[in-house]
Amino acid sequence: MRVLKQMFPAIKRGIRGVRKSDGCQAEVFSQEKEIVIALGSNVGDRMHNFTEALKLLKKSGVRITRHGSLYETEPAYVTEQPLFLNSAIRGTTKLDPHDLLKALKQIEKHLGRTDGIRYGPRPIDLDILFYGKFEVDSEVLTIPHERIWERPFVVAPLIDLLGSSLDNDTVASWHSFSRKSGGLFEVWEKLGGESLIGKEGLRRVLPVGNQLWDWSRKTHVMGIVNLTPNSFSDGGKFQSVDAAVAQVRLLIVEGADIIDIGAQSTQPSATRISPEEELNRLMPILEAVLQMPEISGKFISVDTFYSVVASEAVRRGAHIVNDVSGGQLDPNMHKVVAELGVPYIIMHMRGDPQTMQNSSNTLYEDVCKEVSSELYARVRDAELSGIPVWSIILDPGIGFSKNAVHNLELLMGLPRLRREIASKSYAASRAPILIGPSRKRFLGEICDRLNPVERDPATVAAVSAGILGGANLIRVHNVRDNLDAAKVCDALLAQKKGSSMVR
């Protein structure tokens, strides 16, 4: 905030006199301009409306570069109507402001919007919040949008599109339009800031299956089912359909929210199998699991770095793609996941399982800073391929291309990981974080436990540290004990939050 206050006087001097009306000349807008468009929907399949709107925006000449988080919100002004979904996108276009407005109106009409009550129900609502460094004031269009500053459901996703470090002069001008010394950040704080999330009808959610998942209400537990003969912990135990189904049933009884099924070993030096072999291992068991009555209300994640495996698994009914490579081992993965429209877990790893523990891949000067930078680079690649950040889950990759010290630094450094990512993107920094230290070798080294199964108490300690540092999901073999740990950590965090509110 202090830096912004120092910068804004100079910024404002630099943009004086650029206010334009609809009489402005077309050549002013002949180059691509950076824009922000708000999205809202509360009629029909709201998530489908968003997805179709994004596709039509791209066809209309908008290149989408960033997505805000996804919010479910109480209606404003006209309150007797269904809950809204709200977000915003940042992009570039060569359309001039009024042609862009026409394109948005056409998209709204195509998706079924008709004239009705102002602020009333609508399948889709698209508003231009910012257009380059320009202010527009005409009979049909006002930019910046005139009611930005009073609407938390608009400002929240708008802030998501920014980073704590200013990107460029255009972003600086957006801040200056607020007429606040602290820019848009000051607007957000005065509305209530992060304290509004989860209150005042403003929930940050992730679409999965046919649900909107509020991952912040508790720590969610992902139970591991390895279908490989050579997994470090339980290799060969669950290769048959009956054994795998029995294990899934146990994990559900113990309280798992998500079942993560993997048919490719990713332990250090593991030999890679083909997509065909992975599918042969996975599909019979996935189909059997999906038919289990107990699976109702649970999510199924497929642990794979092959796009063809991800595609087939989702087609059969899996809900989430968990990719240890973050798209680095299959150039088609991001495109395929974007088309599938499912949540995508992006994990940090250097190299592949055969090379990840070599000396070059485990060399860090500052592990938290470098992991956050490399993880964000994968998020950017995914986002530019069409995967909205509201569908991304982050995994720092405990045990993957890290030594014991690195793993400990990451477990204790999750708040810093978020801060580092927030310097580039608040939306990415607010994504759920998953950690997977379960029974890993570094725990055995610390506790002198050669047998991975004997590392469950150490796993409880590791996941507890991660949860207290901000992890939202834990991936574990032993669901029962780690769920108890998660419940205690959630209670501690609730107590801390309650105490700070009392003060």
Task: Answer for the pair 160, 426: CB distance below 8 angstroms, yes or no.
Answer: yes
CA atoms within 13 A of residue 144's CA, in its CB half-sphere = 19
Contact 367/406 with Cβ under 8 angstroms? yes
Distance CA 425, CA 160 (A): 7
Q: Which tokens sit at 50?
A: 């968003």
**Three-state DSSP class for residue 222:** strand
d(CA 444, CA 99): 62
What are the two backbone dihedrals, phi and then psi, of residue 436, each rounded to the nearest 5 degrees?
-135, 65
The C-alpha atoms of residue 498 and residue 156 are separated, in whole angstroms, by 23
Q: Spell out where 289-390 has E strands.
A: 299-303, 320-323, 344-347
**Is the Cβ–Cβ distance between 177 and 22 less than 8 Å?**
no
Q: Are 347 and 392 in contact (CB under 8 A)?
A: no
Q: Which amino acid is at 16?
A: R
Task: Say if CB 82 and CB 123 are below 8 A apart.
Answer: no
Q: Nearest 5 degrees, angle CA 430-CA 171-CA 67?
A: 35
Nearest-angstrom CA–CA distance, 5 and 47: 38
Helix H or strand E encompassing 220: strand 220-226
Residues contacting 345, CB < 8 A, separation 6+: 301, 320, 321, 322, 323, 392, 393, 394, 395, 434
SS (H, E, C) 131-180: ECCECEECCCCEECCCCHHHCHHHHHHHHHCCCCCCCCHHHHHHHHHCCC
Contacts of 436 (CB under 8 A, 6+ apart): 395, 398, 399, 474, 475, 476
13 has catalytic annotation:
no
> Is 37:68 a contact under the CB 8 Å cutoff?
no
Beta bridge partners of 321: 302, 344
440 is catalytic: yes
Compute the CA torsion angle 144, 149, 152, 156 (nearest 10 deg).
50
Say which of 475, 487, 497, 503 is annotated catalytic.
475
Catalytic residue among 281, 440, 441, 455: 440
* Catalytically annotated residues: 440, 475
